Amino acid sequence: MVADRPGEFDLIREFFAPLAKDPGSLGLTDDAAVLTVRAGHDLVLTKDMLAADIHFFSQDPPEAIAAKALRVNLSDLAAKGAKPRGYMMGLALPSDWSPDWLEGFCAGLADDQKAYGFDLLGGDTIRSFGGLLVSITALGEVPCGKAVRRSGAQPGDLLFVTGTIGDAAAGLQLRFDPAFGQDRTLSAADEQYLRDRYLLPRPRTTLAPLLLEYANAAMDISDGLIADCGHLASASEVDIVLDLDKVPVSHAIAKINANSQDDFLRCVDGGDDYEILTCVSEANAEQFSKHATAVGCPLTLIGRVDQGTGIVTVTKKGTPIHMDELGGFRHF
C-alpha cells in the first residue's frame, strides 16, 4: 500500500493503516508485507475482482460493497478448508469518491475483518477512469497437503450443499425488475430477504474445518448450482446425479417455483449463492452432517457421485430431465 502520489499517503494513513493490524503489514509503511506461514501449513490464495455495475451496483452502501469484496474471496477459502489469514487489496477509486464513502467502505472492511478474523496486509490504490474496482487477493492456511480440491470426488460419494440456493439470483433479478416480485406473489419480507441475499454473501467459514476432516471435494457455488456441479464433476472425472426436488430453497424461492418452473431453474442456476457444494463418502456422511449441524451450518443431501466423465444428470421425481427439455430455461 505504498503511495505513488502525496494524496495516497494521506489515504493510507487515514483510512487503510487502521485496518492493518497484522504485524506482517509493517503498518503499510513499506514496499511489501511479510508473512510467516504457520508451521506445517500451506498457503491458500484466491483472487476475485469486483467492478461497479458488473458485480455490484455503484449505489450500494459502501459497507456492503466492501463486505462483498471480502466475502466472495472468503467463500473460496472456506471451500478449500482454509482458515483466513490476511488479504491484499487493490482499489481503483473513481474521481468522485468522497471521504464519507471511503469511511463507510473501510468500516465494512473493519467489521468483516473482526467477524472473520483476518486483516489487511497491503495493497495499492489508484485512480479509476471507469467505476470503482476492488481487487482482493485473500490468503488462508491449511495443514500441509490437506487443501480440499474440486478434483477429489469419488464414485459413491454423497453430494451436499449448504444453506439455500437461488436467493441471490432472485435478489439480483429484483434489482433489475422491481415488478418481478409482485408478478410472483412475493411479500415485501420475501423481497427484502432476497435482495439482502444478493447484497451480502455469507461465506460458510464455519464449515471449513469439517471439509478438511470429511470432504473428498468441495467448491463454492458462484456460477450456479448446475453449472458448478459440472465444474466439480469435470475436475474429478466423475458423473454427478443431482436431485432437483432435494435442492434446499427458501420460502421465497419455493413461491417462485410454485409459480414458474422456468423462473425457479433460472434462480437455482443463477449463481452468486456462495454456498458450498461438497462430496463426502457415504461412510463419513453421518458424522459430517452431525458436525455441520453442531456448528450451525445447514446442510442438505442433494445427489450422488457416480463413475463417469464429468456429466451432470438432473433428476426430478426420480426421472432424469435433459437440460434442453427444461423449456424456457436460460439465465435471466
Q: How far apart are the C-alpha atoms of 323 and 313, rounded to whole Å?
A: 9
Confirm or deny that 124 is annotated as ligand binding. yes
CB of 267 to its own copies, least distance (A): 17
Cα 74 to Cα 202: distance, rounded to the nearest angstrom? 9
Min dist CB 248 to its own copies, Å, is 21
190 is in an annotated binding site: no
C-alpha to C-alpha distance for 265 and 18, rounded to whole angstroms: 44
CB of 119 to its own copies, least distance (A): 13
Nearer to its own copies by Cβ, of 14 and 286: the residue is: 14
Q: Report the residue number, 5 or 290, with the smaller CB distance to its own copies.
A: 5
Cβ-based nearer residue to its own copies, 45 or 295: 45
Q: Which amino acid is at 198?
A: Y
3-state SS class at 53: coil
Q: Which helix (H) or strand (E) holds 110?
A: helix 99-116
User: Which chain residues interact with its own copies by CB under 8 A?
Assistant: 1-5, 26, 29-37, 42-55, 76-77, 79-80, 82, 88-90, 92, 121-124, 126-131, 133, 135, 137, 139-140, 142, 144, 147, 149-151, 219-220, 222-223, 235, 271
Question: Is there a binding annotation on residue 53?
Answer: no
Is 222 assigned a ligand-binding role in the annotation? yes
Tell me: is residue 220 an annotated ligand-binding position.
yes
Sign of the dihedral through C-alpha 285, 290, 295, 297: positive
**Strand-pair partners of 104:** none
Whose Cβ is closer to its own copies: residue 37's or residue 258's? Answer: 37
Closest C-alpha among 295, 244, 12 to residue 2: 12
55 among annotated binding-site residues: yes
223 known member of a binding site: yes
Comparison of 107 and 235: residue with beta carbon closer to its own copies: 235
Nearest CB to its own copies, comparing residues 96 and 245: 96
Cβ atoms of 278 and 217 closer than 8 Å: yes
Residue (186 or 240) nearer to its own copies, CB: 240
Closest CA to 215 of 272, 299, 274: 299
CB of 326 to its own copies, least distance (A): 17
CB of 280 to its own copies, least distance (A): 18
Q: Any binding-site annotation on 48?
A: yes
| Smallest distance from its own copies to CB 142, Å | 7
* Separation between Cα atoms, residue 290 and residue 288, nearest integer Å: 5
Q: How far apart are CA 144 and CA 142, in angstroms?
A: 6
Which of left, alpha, beta for 92 (phi over 0: left; psi -120 to 50: alpha)? beta
Least distance to its own copies from the beta carbon of 181, Å? 25
Q: What is the DSSP track for 212-230?
A: HHHEEEEEE-SS-HHHHHH
What are the CA-CA distances from residue 2 to residues 32, 122, 134, 189 (Å)?
Answer: 8, 8, 17, 45
Annotated binding-site residues read 31, 46, 48, 55, 76, 123-124, 150, 220, 222-223, 272, 329
Q: Which residues are annotated as a binding site for Mg(2+)?
A: 31, 46, 48, 76, 124, 220, 223
Give binding residues for ATP as ranges: 123-124, 150, 222
